[in-house]
A and B are shown apart, each in its own frame.
Chain A
Amino acid sequence: MDQTIPEVIRTVPLQYYVFFASALFAIGVTGVLVRRNAIIIFMCVELMLNAVNILLTAFSAYRADPNGQIFVFFIMAVAAAEVSVGLGIIVMIYRNFQTTDVNLLSRLKW
């Protein structure tokens, strides 16, 4: 089979993708811990999901195994469902309490 291998796969070790995804994930975790705005926390969760996506894709591309990329599809579907319900909850909370500050919402009752 005469198929050229993409340059990145030839020259970059797979380990570097692991490091890159770890850094992205750690930034997402830090964001969740640092920020208090619920929307920014949501965005940092998206960042973590994307770190996982890039790692799955990298392994899938290097190992020539399409299953990893199929998983990324499902992660995207789950992320969209999560975002729509999560933002719906945030809008409801804002409507009742006029804030998206998670510290004020830690009571879970009013």
Chain B
Amino acid sequence: MSPLFLFLSFVALLSALGVVLAKNPVHSVLFLILTFFTLSGHYLLLNAQFLAAVNIIVYAGAIMVLFLFVIMFLNLNEETEPHKPALAKFAAAIAGGSLLLILVAAMRNVNPVGYDPTSFDSQIGMVDRLGLVLFQQYALPFELASILLLAAMVGSVMLGKRETGERNF
């Protein structure tokens, strides 16, 4: 058992719990960034090195900045944080715990086939190998991703743009 695997999993699960439990939304964002960094560590251990870099660039670098920005933007803090009643929280925790229980119980006896030493290839996570697969087999999803990004761009501009004369917040 690799100690790095255990360490990274432990930190990832703890900081994921921190996201849920932190009172202050800014702390939640910081915990989530820590989770993303540990997941990038996992990707590195699995030799998916391009994914590790992309995870940092996109998730920790862009998406979390946007989250932090919105939290600053809306001026959320501990005092304005809405809370569910304790009973509802308890029931939600039970529901989440039983989901985990069911998942683990279902997977306990499943033993997925591990690596195959004869055909193993440690270099599939490199950017050149991924690029060949992406552009040769997944050309259509790639183009559709651009349309999705275009739609998201237009949608968020439509939602966020204030026309002249409107209140500008």
Touch between A and B in complex, CB under 8 Å? yes
Interface residues of A (CB under 8 A from B): 1, 3-16, 18-20, 22-31, 33-37, 39-40, 42-44, 46-47, 50, 53-54, 57-67, 69-70, 72-74, 76-85, 87-92, 94-95, 99-101, 103
Q: How large is the interface on B (under 10, 10 to 19, 20 to 34, 35 or more residues)?
A: 35 or more
Residues of B within 8 A of A8 (CB): 2, 4-5, 45-46
Interface residues of B (CB under 8 A from A): 1-2, 4-5, 9, 12-13, 16-17, 19-20, 25, 28-29, 32, 35-36, 39, 42-43, 45-48, 50-51, 54-55, 58-59, 62-63, 66-67, 70-71, 73-74, 76, 81-84, 89, 92-93, 95-97, 99-100, 103-104, 107, 110-117, 119-125, 129-130, 133-134, 137-138, 141, 145, 148-149, 151-153, 155-156, 159-160, 169
Q: What's the Cα separation between A53 and B169 when bound, in Å?
A: 37
Residues of B within 8 A of A14 (CB): 112-114
A30 near B92 with CB under 8 A, answer: yes
Partner of B63 from the list A12, A20, A23, A79 (CB cut-off 8 Å) is: A79
Q: What's the Cα separation between A27 and B111 when bound, in Å?
A: 23
B84 near A34 with CB under 8 A, answer: yes
A43 near B67 with CB under 8 A, answer: yes
A92 near B28 with CB under 8 A, answer: no
Q: What's the Cα separation between A9 and B50 when bound, in Å?
A: 18
Residues of B within 8 A of A80 (CB): 58, 62-63, 149, 152
Of A20, A69, A79, chain B has the most CB atoms within 10 Å of the CB of: A69
Residues of A within 8 A of B58 (CB): 76, 80
Of A9, A31, A35, chain B has the most CB atoms within 10 Å of the CB of: A35
A65 near B124 with CB under 8 A, answer: yes
With known contacts A28-B16, A91-B159, A69–B51 Cβ distance under 8 A:
yes
With known contacts A12-B1, A23-B100, A24-B12, A81–B82 Cβ distance under 8 A:
no
Residues of A within 8 A of B81 (CB): 37
Q: A5-B115, A20-B12, A30-B99 are in contact. List 13 more A-B contacts (CB 8 A).
A: A6-B46, A31-B20, A33-B95, A34-B89, A36-B83, A39-B74, A57-B46, A64-B116, A78-B148, A81-B148, A81-B149, A83-B67, A85-B156
